[in-house]
Chain A
Amino acid sequence: MGDLPPYPERPPQQPPDRRTSQASQRQYSRDQVQPPAADPEEGQQIAPDAQRNTPGWSQRGSLSQQESLLMPRAFQAEEARIGSMEYPSMNTGFPLEFQPQPYSDESRIQAAEVTTSLMQRLQQGQSSLFQQLDSTFPEPPVNPLDPFNLYQTDHFSEGAQHGPYIRDDPALQFSPSELGFPRYSAEVPEPEPLELAVQNAKAYLLQTSISCDLSLYEHLVNLLTKILNQRPEDPLSVLESLNRTTQWEWFHPKLDTLRDDPEMQPTYEMAEKQKALFTRSGGGAEGEQEMEEEVGETPVPNIMETAFYFEQAGVGLSSDESFRIFLAMKQLAEQQPIHTCRFWGKILGMNRSYLVAEVEFREGEEEAEEEEVEEMTEGGEVMEAHGEEEGEEDEEKAVDIIPKPVWKPPPVIPKEESRSGANKYLYFVCNEPGLPWTRLPHVTPAQIVNARKIKKFFTGYLDAPVVSYPPFPGNEGNYLRAQIARISAATQVSPLGFYQFSEEEGDEEEEGGAGRDSYEENPDFEGIPVLELVDSMANWVHHTQHILPQGRCTWVNPLQKTEEEEDLGEEEEKADEGPEEVEQEVGPPLLTPLSEDAEIMHLAPWTTRLSCSLCPQYSVAVVRSNLWPGAYAYASGKKFENIYIGWGHKYSPENFNPALPAPIQQEYPSGPEIMEMSDPTVEEEQALKAAQEQALGATEEEEEGEEEEEGEETDD
């Protein structure tokens, strides 16, 4: 039992006193309450009075006094219970005189009571609770929820000493709650029915279900703690979301430091790979000497500078992505024998995208790989030759000569040599910087011709099949290479004069009018003013060769190839073919200005802009292709660059019309020698037989008649 307060007479007197004082106190409190109950000032004014009245009592009294004045009526009922813990006498009104005994753990009790009352408050949905709590606890002597966590350990019986108390008249309780909180009482030999009710209520709140560990009580504790800690504005409106969040947090605790989050695994892997990009190559001793050696020429261009200029035009990837691409290209340059390289662009795909680097190998480096490829194809041809010979033998053996099909596959147009035409550069692709680069094979004319007929999205996987009609000869890697070739041929432009033809010219006649296919940089190029570049398309030229309808840049007569085949095969077929004239295909020569480009249905093929209209002095000229959306070029002073970022398809104002399937093949022309005759039916056969028999029978009868006559004569 705590020390008795300055009212030692209280305990024995309480029972009788209680009632009277209760009554009087009720009046007292009512008087105090009826003036604006929510007036904090008044409360504060009265508080000092209260304190004066009970010197031994400090904040506890003022607390409840203020509360009594400030809280709405119903709350007072709860407060009454708070009070009632101390001096188990009241429900309405708090006579300060009646709070004599400080219990040793009064704070906890108080807290518990406050909590239960607060919870009830929540149930009743009075939002002014917290605000009022704020105002009433200028210096919370006891943060009502602080010892809350203590409360978690939770034993209902506090072991607190308390004085005898008086049963309350339940009718005096103003709480609408069905839980019926009476005043709290600690260990009592016989639990009061009201107290029992409280215990039951609390036990009910604390129960957990089979499916989850969390009891409503704990959840509400967490929720209220969270709200009071975070103090959101207008908490009622976010109550539902907070509720959900709190529940979620309980069931998804932060993982401890020993375990990694399984979901983030792929992210971490990618990050590791990209981190590898950032480490310097060729480890070893680092020193300033190495620095000097490394600052030499690197085949990788200044991608950051290019990215900066394109950013002025509003095109391009973000700067950190560009830097990563730069590092990835540096890595590529270390792995492959590269002479020059360039960032060509990015082709978007459905599942992944491709970053494309345009590369030129050093002299002689490439041939090793080329030979392997050629061997493969030669091996294939040899096999075919064997097949033909066997077929011929079979044919000779057969008695009936099977008619040979007239159809011959169209001659295969040979692909261009590497380093020339469409295969001038090698292309490497990767999906993201940090992943290994893959080399794309050279493009064949057949692939280009087919690529012009189909329109397919890229999936992002190089070995994915391209399902289309006409069937594309190759997989996605080949299709990608073909599109890259088409885009390069159509949209790689440079300012007029940057490139010039080399002085040593071959005879144009010998090359069949195909034009020159090499150029070099013009050392005297002085740059064209930006405004002029924007005004006229004649100031820009293509510096890649146009791809002919055949699929190559230089024309090859397909018939010439057949002559070689004839050496191997029969001569008969030559006669069948007859002279087929194939017209030579001519395309615009290299370095033609863009003003010569064909229009797309009354649409200019190129659009030019100044990058920034507000400061024309420092802007760059930007050219955008309308035929291949996503192809951009910029030029400023002596610098220029091209880039392509897009889906990899040509623009056409009309809808795409897929190629119609080929007409149905004709059957072999019918003629009498192969025409099937229908077998005679049974009736016809029988009729024929009958007719024959009749004819026979007629002649036989005559003979028989003669024989019978002879026979009959003898018989007799």
Chain B
Amino acid sequence: MDADSLLLSLELVSGSGQGLSPDRRASLLTSLMLVKRDYRYDRVLFWGRILGLVADYYIAQGLSEDQLAPRKTLYSLNCTEWSLLPPATEEMVAQSSVVKGRFMGDPSYEYEHTELQKVNEGEKVFEEEIVVQIKEETRLVSVIDQIDKAVAIIPRGALFKTPFGPTHVNRTFEGLSLSEAKKLSSYFHFREPVELKNKTLLEKADLDPSLDFMDSLEHDIPKGSWSIQMERGNALVVLRSLLWPGLTFYHAPRTKHYGYIYVGTGEKNMDLPFML
């Protein structure tokens, strides 16, 4: 959610039950302002909160002019001091995929994972148990990256692409209409499109290249991993991800308020196919 409209966004997202306490809100408002100034970001988003056993991580993201450029992620333990996280690499993601369980809450905590590795010693090939240490910070980075790629969404029309390349915020976005808001196809993944080129020519002909340049949620696998609801007496549409429980996206139809937040344990729901 945009740091500029933090209070309203938190209010609208509160239907999921978890939000922020007033002291955190107050410190966020001031600290995100300073982050924007210090790092020269165009927009700062409050991404959410990962619940750890000892402490919680508060995550923010900074965007530059081009909305689809890789975002910079920052984390904080107390909503006042923010530290920049390194960008996620595939190696990191692979490494931390073996770690399961809750986050500890201490960025320097190291998970130990024993691996069997084949070691060549001369002519002998035998397996040795090697204990790999994985830092929680690495895991944090990869989890945030996975969540972003999988379930960060925006409504159709909120961003538009110019022929020169960069993607801009659409200042004339007036919101989706009620009928559009209930359809999964009106929401896009907030990332570089992956499946767009797989569409047939016939489908592509219907697309508007300035607005439809990202993947929509319609073809997400597994099907049914999004729950769409109307809340607040039909005045707010809320999408919750069932794959990463804790991610809530809200949009007030016919207004330009929208945003998403993740408040959860940072674990993927691998049991989803059984639960649908």
Contact = CB atoms under 8 A, between A and B. Distances in A.
Interface of A: 237-238, 240-242, 245, 263-264, 266-267, 269-271, 273-274, 311-318, 321, 346, 348-353, 432, 434, 455-457, 460, 601, 603-604, 607, 611-615, 624, 626, 629-630, 645-647, 649, 651, 653, 655-656, 658
A353 B170 CA distance: 33
Interface string B215-246: 00000000010011111111100001010010
Nearest to B55: A609
Nearest to B162: A237
Contacts of B234: 266-267, 269-271
Contacts of B101: 601, 603, 653
Contacts of B232: 321
Given A629-B264, A653-B101, 16 more contacts: A241-B170, A266-B230, A267-B234, A313-B21, A314-B21, A314-B24, A315-B17, A348-B16, A349-B227, A351-B229, A432-B231, A455-B271, A457-B227, A630-B18, A645-B18, A646-B17
Given A626-B102, A647-B245, A264 B270 contact: no
A602 B248 CA distance: 30
B178 interface: yes
Contact of A263 (B17, B18, B160, B179): B179
A604 B52 CA distance: 12
Contacts of A274: 233
Given A241-B171, A604-B53, A267 B233 contact: yes
Nearest first, the 6 closest Cβ-Cβ pairs linking A and B are A645-B17, A270-B233, A656-B271, A267-B234, A318-B14, A314-B21
Interface in B241-276: 242, 245, 264-265, 270-271, 274-276
A536 to B, nearest CB: 16
B274 A316 contact: no
B16 A312 contact: no
A346 B274 contact: no
Contacts of B170: 241
Given A321-B232, A350-B242, A653-B100, A267 B178 contact: yes
B118 to A, nearest CB: 27
B15 A351 contact: no
A339 to B, nearest CB: 28
A313 B51 CA distance: 13
Nearest to B80: A614
B178 A264 contact: yes
Contacts of B240: 348
B119 to A, nearest CB: 29
B102 A603 contact: yes
B19 interface: yes
Contact of A455 (B11, B162, B264, B275): B275
Contacts of B20: 314
B274 A455 contact: yes
A457 B229 contact: no
19 contacts: A240-B210, A241-B160, A263-B178, A264-B178, A269-B234, A270-B233, A271-B233, A311-B22, A316-B17, A321-B15, A348-B240, A349-B227, A351-B229, A353-B15, A432-B233, A455-B271, A457-B275, A601-B101, A655-B270
Contacts, number: 123
A138 B5 CA distance: 39
Given A315-B17, A317-B17, A456-B275, A241 B172 contact: yes
Given A264-B178, A626-B53, A317 B14 contact: yes
Chain A residues touching B, majority SS: loop
Contacts of A312: 21-22
A263 B237 CA distance: 14
Contacts of B271: 455, 655-656
Given A314-B21, A317-B17, A434-B233, A245 B172 contact: yes
Contacts of A271: 233-234
Contacts of B23: 612, 614-615
Contacts of B242: 350, 457
Contacts of B179: 263
A629 B267 CA distance: 12
Nearest to B20: A314
Given A455-B275, A658-B274, A629 B16 contact: no
Contacts of B78: 613
Nearest to B242: A457
A270 B233 CA distance: 5
B89 interface: no
Given A271-B233, A456-B275, A653-B100, A321 B14 contact: yes
A457 B227 CA distance: 10
B30 interface: no
Given A317-B15, A603-B53, A656 B274 contact: yes
Contacts of B102: 603, 626, 653
A651 B16 CA distance: 18
A238 B170 CA distance: 9
Contacts of A601: 101
A242 B100 CA distance: 50
B52 to A, nearest CB: 9
Given A314-B19, A315-B18, A434-B233, A242 B265 contact: no
A607 B23 CA distance: 20
A649 to B, nearest CB: 8
Contact of A645 (B16, B21, B54, B100): B16
B17 A630 contact: yes
B100 to A, nearest CB: 6
Contacts of B133: none
A604 B105 CA distance: 14
Given A270-B233, A350-B242, A318 B11 contact: yes
A238 B21 CA distance: 39
B177 interface: yes
Interface in B142-200: 160, 162, 170-172, 177-179
Contacts of B275: 455-457, 649, 656
